[in-house]
Amino acid sequence: MSVLPFDDRDGFIWLNGQLVPWRDAKIHVLTHALHYASCVFEGERVYGGNVFKLTEHSARLENSAKLLGFDLPFSVAQIDQATRETCAANKIVDGYVRPVAWRGSEMMGVAAQSAKINVAIATWVWPSYFSPEAKLKGLRLMMAPWRRPAPDTAPTASKAAGLYMICTLSKHEAEAKGFADAMMLDYRGYVAEATGANIFFVKDGALHTPKPDCFLDGITRRTVIDLARARGIQVIERHILPDELEGFEQCFLTGTAAEVSPVGEIGPYRFEVGAITRQLMDDFDRTTHGLALAA
């Protein structure tokens, strides 16, 4: 399948305070972020012309930057407005938004306190992260070969580019073996998340989900927890051992890209695409489109 390269497209990208032609939004090869991962980003979705939970995402971008030791040169309100302008300039009605902030090329070396902080926002039309057919059956996941790091070894509460290196490695291996994704354990051996999405399980009518104490507490994750509680579904946030997967009935992933995606298989464990999963898929879809929840 031919994929249009991301550096050669029509449209506009917001870069450091102004909209520039897409192909002109470039950085130098000696940019600090490229060499030392001094970069944070967000992933957002546009539904019917509106960016879902926009301010929450912009605020998390600001906080991620602080966790990496730098301040954004724009306020949360300014980033919100720039995001709307970028979506409008590219005529995005349903799509994806990628804000990103990074240290520039003014200094090269581990220390780069004087490097300029750059901010860019790009947006494009993007369909479902997983194919509708795969979601209908339930995604097939393998166990990832890498584990999420301990919070005293990396800024795990940030959405930092460097934290995704092991996610890329794990997802590449999963896809090479015919799986849609991989489930990662944390540094202690507890269930953590997939490579780019949080994970939930269903047992006896209740939701069980890992405590996000060493990985990102997703905005979609929190939305789904609120939706479940509004339905009277008990939500239990706790440490989950891999052996417990055998006793769970349903499983699904949540994330800006994944939205709510049922899982049918993780290694030797099987799950049904059951009523609670389907209900939360529908509730999330209605919420993102500004519709009232079904009775």
Residue 134 has pLDDT above 90, yes or no: no
Q: What is the mean pLDDT of the chain?
A: 96
pLDDT band at 4, cuts 50/70/90?
Answer: confident
Token pair of 295 as six digits: 């009775």
Per-residue pLDDT tens digits for 67-111: 999 999 999 999 999 999 999 999 999 999 999 999 999 999 999
CB burial readout 63-99, b (16+ within 10 A) else e: bbbebbebebebebeebbebbbebbeebebeebbbbb
How distant is the alpha carbon of residue 75 from its chain centre? 22
Mind listing the pLDDT tens digit for each residue in 148-163? 999 999 999 999 999 9
Q: pLDDT value at position 133?
A: 72
Ordered structural domains, the chain, with CATH: 12-124 (3.30.470.10), 132-288 (3.20.10.10)
> Which residues lie closer than 8 Å to 166 by C-beta, 6 or more apart?
144, 146, 147, 148, 184
In the predicted structure, residue 126 carries a pLDDT above the cut 90: no
DSSP letter string, the chain: -----TTS-SSEEEETTEEEEGGG----TT-HHHHH--EEE--EEEETTEETTHHHHHHHHHHHHHHTT---SS-HHHHHHHHHHHHHHTT-SSEEEEEEEEE-SS--SS--TTSPEEEEEEEE----SS-HHHHHH-EEEEEEEEEEPPTTTS-TTS-BGGGGHHHHHHHHHHHHTT-SEEEEEETTS-EEEESSSEEEEEETTEEEEE--SSS---HHHHHHHHHHHHTT--EEEE---GGGGGG-SEEEEEETTTEEEEEEEETTEE----HHHHHHHHHHHHHHTTPPPP-
What local confidence, expressed as pLDDT, does residue 1 receive? Answer: 43
Residue 191 carries which side chain, given as an amino acid letter? V
pLDDT of residue 140: 97
Tens digits of per-residue pLDDT, 7-42?
Answer: 999 999 999 999 999 999 999 999 999 999 999 999
pLDDT band at 290 (very low <50, low <70, confident <90, very high): very high
> Annotated catalytic, 159?
yes
| pLDDT tens per residue across span 196-238 | 999 999 999 999 999 999 999 999 999 999 999 999 999 999 9
pLDDT of residue 230: 97
| Catalytic residue, candidates 53, 135, 159, 171 | 159
